[in-house]
Amino acid sequence: MLQRDEPPPVPQPTVANSPNTITPAAPGSAGLASQNSFADVVDRVAPAVVSIHSMRQARAPRQHPFFDDPRFREFFGLPRTPQREAPRVQGLGSGVIVSGEGYVLTNHHVIDGAEEIRVELSDRRVYSAKLVGSDPPSDLAVLKVDERNLPVLTMGDSDRARVGDVVLAIGNPLGLEQTVTAGIISAKGRSTGLSDGSFEDFLQTDAPINQGNSGGALVSASGELIGINSQILSPTGGNIGIGFAIPVNMAKNVMDQLVRNGEVRRGSLGVTIQPLTAQAMSRLGLQNARGALVNSVVSGGAADRAGVQAGDVITAFNGNAIGDPNSLRNAVAGTPPGTEVSLTLWRNGREQQVRLRLGELNTTARAQRGE
């Protein structure tokens, strides 16, 4: 079972020049990659990982609307339904301070529906937080606290993370105070299908993650933020060593747009795509299953105007090889609408190049999400 653990534009956050920025140590520095202890890394990075407390009204159980009609109840002799205020529910998750200006990254599902949000630091300081913006398709949200003197965690480059790298997961599982676990990156480019919109490119880790860790930090052995812990795969709801973190490169792109514009705009090709099967490979004369098979083309969309056809296989986007439909979806969604891009297609037994200008994804059109 998968579990998910508009005022004027806000100035873009700047991570540099904060007196409390937690800088990663140089590779090979004493204590950082020690086989015996990660205490030095934890001492530096843990203060920038926070608890997120949210309050929202509980959703009342749904019933047929006739039961809310007083005339209906009177006709059938039913007692009047007492008007009760829905109880307030408290949620708990984690977050990461990523800017000296007070910006905090967390998961959308941690603060979804919240009417009040508080951020608690490991030293017990508590701040009211404003929701800058939230993006359900990527399950990311940005908060802001009105305080500049905060510890900040340096963002790394998640594209450079490798399977087998040692990582630390820091957060507040199951209502406990800050907890640190260790493991490795088990896989990259994972998609679980749980996030709303399926813009997923997860780092998979066996560092223990439990409920409440959502929004917390996945940190490299050198002390850089490389992921935002988001989901677990478990038949029981507890950790079994399969956890997923949103790569920090994706998180940074979403955060920058939310801070600048309050929303995330994504490019669109105007196609639906599917994985390559062995049968399709044989029919198309392909030697491997890398790429995304175009299932249909939206009339009048960017791909249609460029001459892309159903049955084409997209093997590269802007010169970067496409491994599967999910990697194409993320590449397109991470490119601003209106950008001119190139596609490498496999058609009639040979490669072709086309150029087109991306349209804008309508995130409510789930059939075309990200393509």
Enter the tokens of residue 175: 């209502």
Helix (H/G/I), strand (E/B), else coil: 22 = strand
In whole angstroms, what is the distance from residue 252 CA to residue 39 CA? Answer: 27
Q: Is 109 a catalytic residue?
A: yes
Which of 139, 201, 206, 312 is an active site residue?
139
Backbone Cα Rg of the chain: 23
Q: Which of 214, 230, 234, 268 is catalytic?
A: 214
Q: Which of 53, 54, 99, 109 is catalytic?
A: 109
Is residue 159 among the annotated active site residues? no
Which of 105, 158, 155, 90 lies closest to 135, judged by CA?
Answer: 105
Active site residue 53: no
Q: Which residues lie closer than 8 Å to 203 by C-beta, 6 or more apart?
A: 158, 161, 167, 185, 187, 188, 190, 218, 226, 227, 244, 245, 246, 247
Q: Scanning the structure block, which residue is given the tokens 């800050």? A: 178
The answer for residues whose C-beta is within 8 angstroms of residue 103's C-beta and 6 or more apart is 13, 97, 132, 142, 143, 144, 255, 259
- In contact, 94 and 214? CB cutoff 8 Å: yes
Strand spans (E) along 102-194: 103-106, 116-120, 126-135, 140-145, 152-153, 166-171, 179-190
Distance CA 365, CA 337 (A): 16
* SS3 per residue for 231-274: EEECCCCCCCCCEEEEEHHHHHHHHHHHHHHCCCCCEECCEEEE
Known catalytic residues are 109, 139, 214
